[in-house]
Amino acid sequence: MTAYRGYLERSFWNARQFLLAACLAALGIAAWWSLKPTGDDEGTPAARPRLPDYVVQQFSAVETDDTGRPTRHLTATELRHYAQEDVSELDRPRLDLLQTEGPPWHAESERGTVFAGGDQIRLEGRVQMDRPGDGENRPAHLETERLDIWRKQGLAETDLEVRVRSDDDALTANGMRLWYNEPTRTTFHGRARIRLAPEQDPQP
C-alpha cells in the first residue's frame, strides 16, 4: 500500500510538472509570436517606412556662378530631403534658367526630384517650359511628361513625347535635347511632325 501511494504521488507530481512545462512553453511561443517581425513572406522583416530627414515648406533657392551672377532660381511648395538616398523631392517645382543675354527659360511641373550634387533636376507630370520672345528670338512653349535638366551641360532633355509651339507653328516629336544657354540649339528624336501656320500677307 505504501509503495502504491508513493507511485501515485510520483505520478501526481510528474503530471503537475508536465502541465507547468506545457504552460511555460505556451507562454514562450505566444511571446515569440507577438515579437516576431511581420512581412509579406514568412521570415521576411517588415520594411521600414520611407521618411525624410527634413521638410521645407515654400522652398526657394538661388544659384550663382563664380562672379555672383544668378543662374538658376528654384522654388517649390514643399521640399523633402532623404539623407540615405541624397535626393530631394519637390511639390509644384518652378525653375528659372537665367541667361547672360536674352530672355530666361521658365520650367514648371507637378513634382520634381533634385539628385545628389544638384547637377540634375527631374521634372515630372505636366511639364511646361517657356521662353518669352524678344527682338531676336521667337517665343517658345514646350510640353512633356518628364524633363531632365542638367546644370553643367546647360541641357534639358526627354525621351518622351514633346510638343513645341512657337507663335502659330507647332512641332511634335518622340524626344528632345535642348541646350538652353546662348546660343540655343535643339535636336528632336524620332519622327517629328511639324505644322507651319500660313504666312500672313503684309498690311498695305
Question: For position 4, what pLDDT does the model report?
Answer: 40
CA 114, CA 129: separation in Å to the nearest integer? 17
Question: For position 49, what pLDDT does the model report?
Answer: 81
Question: For position 119, what pLDDT does the model report?
Answer: 93
Q: Check residue 101 and give left, alpha or beta (phi > 0: left; psi -120 to 50: alpha).
A: beta
* 10-residue averages of pLDDT along the chain (204 residues): 44 50 53 52 66 95 92 97 94 95 94 93 97 87 97 95 93 95 89 79 54
Question: For position 57, what pLDDT does the model report?
Answer: 97
Type of residue found at 198: P
The residues, any chain, with a CB within 8 Å of residue 116's CB and separated by 6 or more, are 86, 87
Question: For position 25, what pLDDT does the model report?
Answer: 54
Question: For position 72, what pLDDT does the model report?
Answer: 95
Question: For position 45, what pLDDT does the model report?
Answer: 62
Dig out the grid coordinates for 82 from the structure: 532623404
- Domains in the chain with CATH codes: 54-154 (2.60.450.10)
Question: For position 56, what pLDDT does the model report?
Answer: 96
Between the alpha carbon of residue 157 and those of residues 18, 45, 59, 150, the distances in Å are 74, 40, 24, 8
Question: For position 200, what pLDDT does the model report?
Answer: 60
Strands 70-82 and 94-97: what pairing? antiparallel
Cell 509579406 found at: 40
Q: Cα-Cα-Cα-Cα dihedral of 13, 16, 18, 21, to 10°?
A: -120
Question: For position 199, what pLDDT does the model report?
Answer: 63
CB < 8 Å & 24+ apart, contacts of 99-105: 99/180, 99/181, 99/182, 100/69, 100/181, 100/182, 101/182, 102/134, 102/136, 102/137, 102/182, 102/184, 103/131, 103/132, 103/133, 103/134, 103/137, 104/131, 105/129, 105/130, 105/131, 105/156, 105/180
